[in-house]
Amino acid sequence: MAANDPTEAALLTLDAVSKSFDGIEAVAGISFTVATGAVIAVVGAGYTGKTTLLDLISGVLKPDQGSIRFNGHDLASLAPHQIAALGISRCFNPPRPFEALSAEDNVIVGALLHERSTAAARRLALSLLDRLGLTGLRHLPASHLTMTQRKCLELARALATRPRLLLLDEMLAETSSEEWTSLTEILTNDAQANGTALLFAEPDLHAIGTLTDRIITLDQGTLGGETPQDTAGPEA
């Protein structure tokens, strides 16, 4: 994992970002950077602003104040599909596959963001489905998959876009030890091989384990501080 060295040019920069709903601040003056290849976790209990933060980065929401820049681009005026094309991909909680499409076609849709042909997109999709243990389910509609399988499908579709930054909303929460190990191995291998930065939003340190370079704590929408990772992964 690449440490987030503040002397490096940041891939993602949040500067005093705030977002309110009905006068209540969900995110209040958040500032931090993410370097290429960094693995960072934003940790906080429910309703502390984690998902709102990912919504702001991915363009689902626009900040009321502050700025978000990615690889030199100001994201404020861009739609989610334009932000995805720049290299930011997202795994939602709960997962949001195309329910009527097969697992294979879900991943092909992601791959076609950059692949020039359907054949190349299919090859990439099949490779990712194999890595995530979904090869035998590739022809099933996404609506027929279990929650864990849907999480894996969401991850496969996100990785198919070849992201430079991958946002993961509670991807590791409520997973078994075996599932946790498999998912973290895939993610860290991808981060190391492709320089993909990973930004996790998780409810507690237990889900994150020793995966991250930095842990950022959110408390009622504000930064509660940063801590080095020094916890173990989930027990069986």
| 132-161 confidence digits (pLDDT tens) | 999 999 999 999 999 999 999 999 999 999
DSSP per residue, 146-175: -HHHHHHHHHHHHHHT--SEEEEESSSTT-
Please report where in the chains the tokens 């702001």 appear, as a residue: 56
Percent of all residues in the chain with a pLDDT value above 90, rounded to a whole number: 70
E strand map for 38-157:
39-43, 65-70, 73-74, 88-91
Closest C-alpha among 138, 116, 117 to residue 127: 138
227 band by pLDDT with thresholds 50, 70 and 90: low
Q: Which helix (H) or strand (E) segment is 106 a member of?
A: helix 103-111
pLDDT for the residue 184: 87
Residue 2: is its pLDDT beyond 80? no
pLDDT for the residue 149: 95
Record the pTM: 0.89
CA dist 161 and 159 (Å) reads: 5
3-state helix, strand, coil in the chain (%, to 5): 35, 25, 40
* 208-234 average pLDDT score: 71
pLDDT for the residue 7: 39
User: Between residues 172 and 2, which one has the greater pLDDT?
Assistant: 172
